[in-house]
A and B are shown apart, each in its own frame.
Chain A
Amino acid sequence: MTKQQANWSPYDNNGGTVVAIAGADYCVIASDTRMSTGYSILTRDYSKIIQLADKSVMASSGFQADVRALQKVLEARHLIYQHQHNKQMSCPAMAQLLSNTLYFKRFFPYYAFNVLGGLDSEGKGCVFTYDAVGSYERVGYSSQGSGSTLITPFLDNQLKSPSPLLLPAKDAVTPLSESEAIELVKTCFVSATERDIYTGDKLEIVILNASGIRRDYMELRKD
């Protein structure tokens, strides 16, 4: 009698796309709100974005149960940080924490594809992009998830980010205004929705700037 194999996988891909763009004094973080499994849509109204700290917002796509667990771990760690340091975590600090948290499960990873956006200690927009096991870098813009292959080349074309290899280092944040960046994000998602079956339903945009945080929504195709 051959040994019985497990016929279930601890992972699933619940789809979705996330995007973030850093500006001179703002950061835009966006995601669709569709949650899928296989060829079925589970719900059309699930937020993939969470505010971890005053100036840090994370958007994650991938396996929803892992994403939620990751969010809870980071929320808890931030609470402890506040107790110990009597202040909010800065975005670069949260970026390092996220990387360490992901690598901690290097041999049973969080199947989560993250993008962390916010304002750095100088008030400039910052975006950090990650893989599932914590490898990360600060960039001017990023896209992760099922529609990322469609969106990233478009952003490369529109935002023309300077090479990180340049000396002296050139600023990666876009010279676009906040409203221009929001329009760009909407365009990204409308296009991705056309061709990616896992992206659609509704777009949630979070904008972080000196005045605080606000949310914007836009309907997307539901097919």
Chain B
Amino acid sequence: MNVSDSTPAMNNLMGSEADSQRTLYPYVTGTSVVGIKYKDGILLAADMGGSYGSTLRYKTVERLKSVGKHSIIGASGEISDFQEIMRNLDDLILYDNMWDDGNSFGPKEVHNYLTRMMYNRRNKFNPLWNSLVLGGVKNGQKYLGTVSMIGVHYEDNHVATGFGNHLARPLLRDEWHENLTFEEGVKLLEKCMRVLLYRDRSAVNKLQIAKITEEGVTISQPYALKTFWGFSAFQNPTAGAEGSW
């Protein structure tokens, strides 16, 4: 997608002294975030892993955070950039509150702000290396959107970042429908997260699910999914090819 080498022409635009000031690659990263709309609001799921390359370095990273009264954000990608984004968002909400005018930013507004922030950093060739999911409910209207590190954004009934796009979206396209109950929604998200756990090397078996409804935000305590590894083919893996390993 957008991880090809930059052209020689581009390199001339970026001086070597300035290199230390721009993001070139991510260090500590979070993997997929999956989100769905359901009957009463939005559900988001993300595991708590922070990988350092191929090392699963941190296992208690909260990648789902509430934003104001009406929204939740989930982030994948560089964790330090997510922390920077949260500083900006917390400031945004603070100033919004200080107006004290009875109005508050809904998910649409926050999503737009995030989109502009990501796009403007991309324009300066110094991106925030994240893919974000933004969900919320305001005045009964449900909203679920996503933004990538270069500013590509859209809203839909179900969204995912990273590997989630390849593994979770197809499941959601098949099984999502309007008026999922909370239990059905959680079951569907867990199904997605389980597939990701089996197939994404950077996934860890410790996840949180966040729920947002008109009443407010709840982020669950961390928990683990049940997995099954007892396939007979795993018992004696070289049965069909003696001498291999």
Contact = CB atoms under 8 A, between A and B. Distances in A.
A50 B110 CA distance: 22
Interface string A30-59: 000001011011110110000000000000
A3 B16 contact: yes
Contacts of A35: 154
A9 interface: yes
A7 interface: yes
A9 B5 CA distance: 7
A218 interface: no
A10 interface: yes
Contact of B122 (A10, A37, A42): A10
A6 interface: yes
B154 A7 contact: no
Contacts of B16: 3
A69 B122 CA distance: 12
B2 A8 contact: yes
Contact of A65 (B1, B24, B151): B151
Interface in B1-42: 1-6, 10-11, 14, 16, 19, 22, 24-25
- What band does the interface of chain A fall in when counting residues whose beta carbon is under 8 Å from B? 20 to 34
A12 B6 contact: no
Contacts of A211: none
A38 B16 CA distance: 31
B113 to A, nearest CB: 13
B149 A8 contact: yes
Contacts of B154: 35, 42-43, 46, 64
A37 B165 CA distance: 10
A68 interface: yes
Contacts of A40: 165-166, 169
A64 B10 contact: no
- What band does the interface of chain B fall in when counting residues whose beta carbon is under 8 Å from A? 20 to 34
A65 B122 CA distance: 10
Contacts, number: 78
Interface in A104-138: 108
A9 B156 contact: no
Contacts of B22: 6
Interface string A66-109: 00110000000000000000000000000000000000000010
Contact of A37 (B11, B152, B156): B152
A179 interface: no
Given A9-B3, A11-B2, A45 B156 contact: yes
B6 A9 contact: yes
A64 B119 CA distance: 11
Interface string A1-36: 001111111111010000000000000000000010
Contacts of A108: 123
B68 interface: no
B127 interface: yes
B206 interface: no
Contacts of B165: 40, 42
A37 B153 CA distance: 12
A205 B175 CA distance: 30
A64 B152 contact: yes
A14 B154 CA distance: 11
B176 interface: no
B122 A14 contact: no
Nearest to A108: B123
B105 interface: no
Contacts of B182: none
Given A3-B19, A9-B150, A38-B1, 9 more contacts: A6-B10, A6-B24, A37-B152, A42-B154, A43-B155, A64-B153, A64-B154, A65-B122, A65-B150
Considering the complex of A and B, which 10 residue pairs feature the smallest CB-CB distances, nearest first?
A65-B151, A9-B2, A43-B156, A6-B6, A43-B154, A38-B1, A12-B2, A65-B152, A64-B152, A37-B1
Interface of B: 1-6, 10-11, 14, 16, 19, 22, 24-25, 115, 119, 122-123, 125, 127, 149-156, 165-166, 169
19 contacts: A4-B19, A5-B5, A6-B10, A6-B125, A7-B24, A8-B3, A8-B6, A8-B127, A9-B2, A9-B3, A12-B2, A12-B150, A14-B152, A38-B1, A40-B165, A43-B154, A65-B150, A65-B152, A68-B115
